[in-house]
């Protein structure tokens, strides 16, 4: 019998936050200014997105417990605690 699976979205499920806002919040946490390179908007890009978390709640009883700023701060803390190797991660 084949093993089944479900695709489940996880996210804040609330009001979308702009990428520029996220960059600004990270700049504040890191005490550094980001090097932002603006590109022409690609037709495949979406202007607004938000995770529909209803399936996660229904199937596994999951709801977000961490606010965005707390999650960003925890990510920055992890990055700092795991240096130097975390600063050498190559992202596509």
Q: Which domains does the chain possess?
A: 19-87 (3.90.25.10)
CA-CA distance, 66 to 77, in Å (whole number)? 15
Q: What's the pLDDT tens digit per position in 8-49? A: 988 887 788 888 999 999 999 999 999 999 989 888 988 888
Q: Would you state the pLDDT for residue 64?
A: 92
Handedness of CA 57, 62, 66, 71 (dihedral sign): negative
Query: What's the mean pLDDT when you consider all of the chain?
Result: 88
Residue percentage of the chain with pLDDT more than 70? 96
The DSSP result for 24-87, as a single string, is HHHHHHHT--------PPPTTS-S------HHHHHHH-----S-HHHHHHHHHHHHHHTTTGGG
Q: Residue 1: pLDDT band by 50, 70, 90 thresholds?
A: low
């Amino acid at each position: 019998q084949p093993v089944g699976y479900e695709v489940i979205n996880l996210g804040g499920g609330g009001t979308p936050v702009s990428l520029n806002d996220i960059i600004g919040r990270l700049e504040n946490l890191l005490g550094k200014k980001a090097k932002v390179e603006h590109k022409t908007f690609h037709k495949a890009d979406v202007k607004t997105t938000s995770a529909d978390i209803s399936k996660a709640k229904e199937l596994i009883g999951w709801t977000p417990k961490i606010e965005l700023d707390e999650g960003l701060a925890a990510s920055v803390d992890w990055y700092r605690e795991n240096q130097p190797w975390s600063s050498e991660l190559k992202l596509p």
